């Protein structure tokens, strides 16, 4: 289970009773995918929650849908039962969700027997009590299940949620409130096309079989958060791994659930601090992988590209990582900022290097280049390789300053942004990355602003003049005298 100091409260029950709807209602935001289709949630989805200043970790589990007596057992039903079993070990309380409109079903009775074996405090959430008559009948209707606390709720109308959570938290010792000054975890999204090994990678990073893994493409549907702490060389780095659904081509999306899964993945890319972009070494740079790379580049997210299944490449005798990297760079030039690492989620090859790169990214996101140093760099760069003229007009950079990180954003005050050739802009981005953010996978964002006031005496411009004077002194000491 996840490494956290917060008490764990698990939401459990058979499929299609409203577990994910309750999960979202308690969090007051949409995290789990909610749909009338049965069995939408497969992996356990967890999120920190707060209710009346009480902090806890709320876990939405997959529906327990297989009866012990049935001969035909769905692959995912068995995996879900194993995951729920692991969640029950860490939970301090269980919210058992049933459906008021269906009454007690044979599946509910088996779920009850399964949950009682855990020996944890149990609270019955009689969900879908969408009118007063159903709410009033809930106590008598489900008394047969032998649960002391029965709370009718309606997630559609947000009825009964506060009463339910008040009873659940009443028997749980208060945990320490999260320290506002505590280091914010690095949010890392694991993305890629279906069946490239994203969940296998997450399981190996976490150190346990936390995510479902199968040969069936599309096994993962939600964007699942996994908080943990990386410990290496005496340092601790808190992170949140976000395992996402594989992104298919839009023409291949065949259901509403797949549509929501794709949206969650794209949202995870936009909201993360770092992307681990998983490539399939056996079939790299497909049209869909290039599309995913473009999404990451357009979102300006720091990125590390991980070429998975490298063990299968070496078995086939194709162990030329230099040629592999050249092929990726040629097919996805917009991802030049991202380092490429060959790995194997199956045997753990190169996994230590993943941690090293993550730590490097974290360190580089804290770097702010001083204005004087940056303008000295600009002076040297412009002198070595000045921009070409456009329509008999030369592009000029007067001064620049760094304004943000991550991603590293630099503002350059120029004579006319339209005069800057695209290839020279790319050249400046690459030079800035090489000088200040080497091998960190950080995209460089340049904003070109036209200098409106030539007599501007801002601090950035004064620093630029100081850098120019320092540059002139250095050339003088080297014996480089200005021409008369």
The pLDDT, as a whole number, for residue 483 is 42
Q: Helix, strand, or coil here: 225?
A: strand
Q: Are 259 and 218 in contact (CB under 8 A)?
A: no
The pLDDT, as a whole number, for residue 215 is 43
CATH node for 371-477: 3.30.300.20
Instruction: Tell me what the mean pLDDT of segment 408-418 comes to.
Output: 90
Task: Specify the domain boundaries for CATH 3.30.300.20 within the chain.
Answer: 371-477
CA distances 40 to 33, 262, 269, 273, Å, are: 7, 14, 22, 28
5 pLDDT band, cuts 50/70/90, is: low
DSSP labels, 71-98: S---HHHHHHHHHHHHHHHHEEEEEEEE
- Picking from 22-26, 116-120, 246-250, which range would have the lowest pLDDT averaged per residue? 246-250
347 pLDDT band, cuts 50/70/90, is: confident
Question: Which tens digit of pLDDT belongs to each residue from 297-345?
Answer: 998 889 999 999 888 876 655 556 668 888 898 999 989 888 899 998 8
38 pLDDT higher than 50? no
- Picking from 5-9, 171-175, 184-188, 407-411, which range would have the lowest pLDDT averaged per residue? 171-175
191 pLDDT higher than 80? yes
402 pLDDT band, cuts 50/70/90, is: very high
The pLDDT, as a whole number, for residue 410 is 93
1 pLDDT higher than 50? no
Give dist(CA 468, CA 379) in Å, integer. Answer: 7
- Picking from 57-66, 71-80, 205-214, which range would have the lowest pLDDT averaged per residue? 71-80
Closest of 454, 338, 480 to residue 407, by C-alpha: 338
36 pLDDT higher than 60? no
Task: Specify the domain boundaries for CATH 3.40.50.300 within the chain.
Answer: 8-170, 186-364
Instruction: Tell me what the mean pLDDT of segment 248-261 comes to.
Output: 50
Instruction: Tell me what the mean pLDDT of segment 205-234 comes to.
Output: 59
Q: Which CATH number fits domain 186-364: 3.40.50.300, 3.40.50.170, 3.40.50.800, 3.30.950.10?
A: 3.40.50.300
CA atoms 39, 41, 44, 50: torsion sign: negative
Give dist(CA 104, CA 81) in Å, integer. Answer: 20
Q: Which two tokens stand for residue 476?
A: 């003088």
The pLDDT, as a whole number, for residue 401 is 92
- Picking from 23-32, 221-230, 334-343, which range would have the lowest pLDDT averaged per residue? 221-230
Arch. (CATH architecture) of 8-170: 3-Layer(aba) Sandwich (3.40)
Q: Are 232 and 355 in contact (CB under 8 A)?
A: yes
209 pLDDT band, cuts 50/70/90, is: low
Q: 390 versus 411: which is more confidently predicted?
A: 411
- Picking from 45-59, 245-259, 398-412, which range would have the lowest pLDDT averaged per residue? 245-259
């Amino acid at each position: 289970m996840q490494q956290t100091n917060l008490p764990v409260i698990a939401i459990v029950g058979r499929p299609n009773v409203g577990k994910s709807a309750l999960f979202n209602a308690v969090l007051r935001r949409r995290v789990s995918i909610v749909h009338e289709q049965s069995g939408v949630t497969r992996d356990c989805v967890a999120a920190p929650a707060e209710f009346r200043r009480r902090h806890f970790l709320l876990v939405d589990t997959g529906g327990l849908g297989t009866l012990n007596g049935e001969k035909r057992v769905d692959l995912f039903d068995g995996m879900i039962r194993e995951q729920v079993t692991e969640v029950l070990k860490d939970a301090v309380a269980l919210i058992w969700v049933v459906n008021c409109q269906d009454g007690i079903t044979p599946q509910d009775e088996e779920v009850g027997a399964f949950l009682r074996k855990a020996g944890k405090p149990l609270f019955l959430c009689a969900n879908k009590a969408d009118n007063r008559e159903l709410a009033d009948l809930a106590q008598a209707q489900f008394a047969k299940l032998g649960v002391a606390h029965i709370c009718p709720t309606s997630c559609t109308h947000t009825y009964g949620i506060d009463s339910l959570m008040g009873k659940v938290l009443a028997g749980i010792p208060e945990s320490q409130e999260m320290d506002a000054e505590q280091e914010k975890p690095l949010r890392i999204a694991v993305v890629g096309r279906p069946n490239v090994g994203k969940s296998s990678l997450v399981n190996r990073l976490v150190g346990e079989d936390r995510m479902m893994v199968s040969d069936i493409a599309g096994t993962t549907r939600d964007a699942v958060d996994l908080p943990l702490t990386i410990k290496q060389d005496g340092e601790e780095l808190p992170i949140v791994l976000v395992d996402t659904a594989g992104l298919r081509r839009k023409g291949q999306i065949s259901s509403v659930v797949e549509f929501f899964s794709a949206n969650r993945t794209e949202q995870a890319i936009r909201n993360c601090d770092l992307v681990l972009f998983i490539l399939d070494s056996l079939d790299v740079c497909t049209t869909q992988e290039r599309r995913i790379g473009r999404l990451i580049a357009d979102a300006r997210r720091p990125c590390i590209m991980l070429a998975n299944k490298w063990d299968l490449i070496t078995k086939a005798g194709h162990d030329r990582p230099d040629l592999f990297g050249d092929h990726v760079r040629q097919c996805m030039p917009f991802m030049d900022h991202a380092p490429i690492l060959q790995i194997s989620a199956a045997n753990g090859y190169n996994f230590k290097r993943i941690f090293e790169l993550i730590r490097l990214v974290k360190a580089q996101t804290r770097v702010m280049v001083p204005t004087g140093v940056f303008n000295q760099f600009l002076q040297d760069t412009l002198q070595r390789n000045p921009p070409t003229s456009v329509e008999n007009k030369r592009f000029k950079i007067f001064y620049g300053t760094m304004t943000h990180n991550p991603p590293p954003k630099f503002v350059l005050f120029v004579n006319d942004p339209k005069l800057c050739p695209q290839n020279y802009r790319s050249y400046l981005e690459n030079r800035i990355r090489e000088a200040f953010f080497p091998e960190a996978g950080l995209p460089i964002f340049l904003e070109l602003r036209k200098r409106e006031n030539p007599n501007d005496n801002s601090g950035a411009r004064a620093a630029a003049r100081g850098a120019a004077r320092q540059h002139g002194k250095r050339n003088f000491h080297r014996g480089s005298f200005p021409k008369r």
